[in-house]
Structure 1
């Protein structure tokens, strides 16, 4: 009958570890067979003046012998930090500590850390939505074993995606990292997240605004319940995001110097440099950083209607410093959470309650792809590296440098969210009427 294979690196059965006292008075454990981490079988002996000393001598030699011939042995011998019965809340806390260490080492941006924290934990902010979906609240009280099933994880992410595809995508990212780490610790043979699709990548999640919805959104912004001093920037900001498809944090970073063509009324389609992001780190006030959230800076050709809107906005703002930001809140850098808060107030209890800033980005991508039949042109418009060489044209900037600018302006002319052809700027009429 074949012998049962012993587990690599495992302790032999206790009944085989019984020291025997010899005629010389010494205690011995003679050549107990066990298996090293490398898979080969070895034998270990021990000797001592007492039974306890003999056992200790054998244990010391066993520790040495079971690592013979194996480089990976020490990793295999590590005890997992968690068990399947531990709560997910402990795992999320551990994950955040790991990310904090990555930030300290310069391997993760502080803004990403803040995004992770906001996705997991509730905040004390008065602007925080009580209905916001947080990983810690939804899954924190469940055990690793209860959550760590593809069917459970897939069902959870689908449910989140019905409320917010972008939030579901962030939860997918965190859960993939968490269960990947737990799998490497030995709790799973294969990560339960491996086959779970990202809901944001599944067809049908992208939702663009049609012409009526775009006009309705602008009407809601115009009739905003917010105080004019708190939301004066919201209308031109909305138009800028709708006409470019940039991320809200990138639009907040626009400076007047990034679009010098606004000063020349002979220019129908201004060129805008997308080159910064507004962020707010823990314990700090919001500030502009000189790089985008992802990807290199790039230039965009604005549609005619947006050129007119931003030109009217500049005339109303009358900036004295070209380095000033286009959009400010009470003369200061706008908190990156503020546009989302304002939009939630504007669309509340309306037919556009589903609209987020990401939908304006989706609108631009959908329009460009639909009209040109080339998704890479849309990627170029949104600043993705895979589309960086598409839809570009050369122009000479004010300093005489030859630049490449993404030019989908012909397609984007149709996005003008008004009832006219865009020759009379919305801003010029409405903001002057309000005396702003």
Structure 2
């Protein structure tokens, strides 16, 4: 009867030998690629010790992967590059996301983990490092865990290991601050501070600091759009003569970094479709005044040369303009403010539509200030308690 062929992953009989004072244990393994390979381990103590060493090796052994792009000799630095290059090639991430991942890896991964080979980073060690980063910067730790998890998912697909060790790490907890919207009184104070700031050099020669800042604040508060989307507006996106007047948000402005020079990206966040919003009167007035600054061609918010305006510059101007008690206000604060105002007056569904969120939960959790005043439910509670409404004082 012919000898039965070994199944992939099985090994044959272990033989023992002695040579030059060393003990050897040898067998043949049929690997997952179907090929039969000789495997040997040695010991200076005894043949039985050599056998135990070989058996331990066989229990963890995987087929050689030397010809693959990712194998058991690949370092984490090499794995990161192959992972992110594949993501970019497949069009799964935008340049700004690539830039963000590279910054996180350079700061929290390259020096600390980069020289390790894939099999040398286990779950306990990975979790210890992620939690150490989380103690200082929770948001960065969350990104680092995401990067490592996807890197190791690539290693699993190449068969270097069977289980993703990052899956067992604890999620880095982010302490989210409560959503804070700008009140009507605070908005009046912001307007006043911005006007004083931009007028601080009138009559002194030279360009006014933050000359576009007042209009930028007004349009942010008039639309609830993201700051980068407002700065990406073109006059072709604006219709002030329509009834009602509108602006259509169809792109976003990308600043310097891996994304390249300051330029307009012809897509919104998450490739969301173009979003048209109606303009309140103060938004129309702000945009009408801007016509004198940039004309009716090209960017709505334009430099003196007709180019795009950097969000970083306007952020800096807003910080300089605001007094200490309003230092918490950022360009993104106005998106939360619009969401809160619309939700309060028209309900959560209207707020979701205004901010163009795919899910209502996103609007409620991240962009609307939590209500802390309950509704008038006296009639319902009096009825429950058996008290007539006329007896209520």
Aligned partner of residue 278 in structure 1, secondary structure = strand
Tell me the alpha carbon deviations over residues 166-201 of structure 1, each in whole angstroms, 9 at most, x when there is no partner. xx2x652343122442474659854267641562xx
Deviation at 1:230, TM superposition (A): 4.8
State the SS of the aligned residue for 1:337: helix
- How many residues end up aligned between the 2 structures? 310
Corresponding residue SS for 1:221: helix
Tell me: CA distance 1:240–1:160, structure 2 relative to 1, closer, same or farther (3 Å). farther
Q: What is the SS of the residue equivalent to 1:366?
A: helix
Q: Which residue is equivalent to 1:176? A: 146
The correspondence of residues 178-327 of structure 1 with structure 2, limited to 5 A, is 178-182=148-152, 184=156, 186=161, 190-191=165-166, 195-196=170-171, 199=174, 204-224=177-197, 228-260=207-239, 262-263=240-241, 267=243, 269-280=244-255, 282=258, 284-294=260-270, 295-314=272-291, 316-317=292-293, 319-321=295-297, 324-327=298-301
1:81 and 2:74 are equivalent in the alignment: yes
User: Structure 1 residues 81, 334: CA separation in 2 closer, same or farther (over 3 Å shift)?
Assistant: same
Distance verdict in 2 for CA 1:135–1:250, change over 3 Å: farther
C-alpha RMSD of matched pairs (Å): 4.8
Contact in 2 for aligned 1:243/1:302 (Cα 8 Å): yes
What is the Cα deviation at residue 271 of structure 1?
1.4
Q: Deviations over 1:212-265 (max 9, x none)?
A: 3323332332233787545111111122122222111111111222122x246x
Give yes or no for contact 1:328–1:334 (8 Å, CA) kept in 2.
yes
Q: What does the per-residue CA deviation read over 1:331-352, in whole Å, with 9 as the maximum and x for residues that have no partner?
A: 32113433333333334x7123
Aligned to 2:378: none
User: What 5-or-longer segments of structure 1 have no aligned partner?
Assistant: 1-7, 21-28, 47-61, 67-71, 83-89, 122-133, 162-167, 391-410, 412-436
| Cα separation, 2, equivalents of 1:383 and 1:110 | 23
CA contact (8 A) 1:243 1:303 kept: yes
CA shift, 1:79, in A, is 1.2
Partner SS, residue 300 of structure 1: strand
Alignment of 1:109 onto 2:94: yes
Give SS of 2:197's match.
Answer: coil
CA deviation profile, 1:367-417 (whole Å, cap 9, x unmatched): 33344442x433322223346xx9xxxxxxxxxxxxxxxxxxxx9xxxxxx
Give the Cα separation in 2 of the matches to 1:179 and 1:74. Answer: 23
Residue number in structure 1 paired with 2:316: 341
Cα distance between partner residues in 2 of 1:211 and 1:160: 33
CA contact (8 A) 1:259 1:273 kept: yes
Does the aligned pair in 1 maintain the 2:145–2:171 contact within 8 Å?
A: no
The counterpart of 2:350, out of the listed 377, 391, 395, is: 377
Task: Return the alpha-carbon distance in structure 1 between the equivalents of residues 82 and 319 of structure 2.
Answer: 32
**Counterpart Cα distance in 1 of 2:221 and 2:112:** 35
How far has the Cα of 1:141 moved from its partner? 10
Task: State the distance in 2 between where 1:253 and 1:237 align.
Answer: 12
Q: CA deviation at 1:274?
A: 0.6
CA pair 44-248 structure 1, distance change in 2 beyond 3 A = closer
Quote the offset at 1:116 in angstroms. 3.3
* TM-aligned CA distance change 1:328 to 1:35, over 3 Å: same
Deviation at 1:108, TM superposition (A): 2.9
Tell me how far apart the structure 1 counterparts of residues 162 and 37 of structure 2 sit (CA, whole Å): 31
SS in structure 2 at match of 1:16: strand
> Secondary structure, in 3 states, of the residue corresponding to 2:269?
coil
**SS across alignment from 2:253:** strand
TM-score normalized by the length of structure 1: 0.55
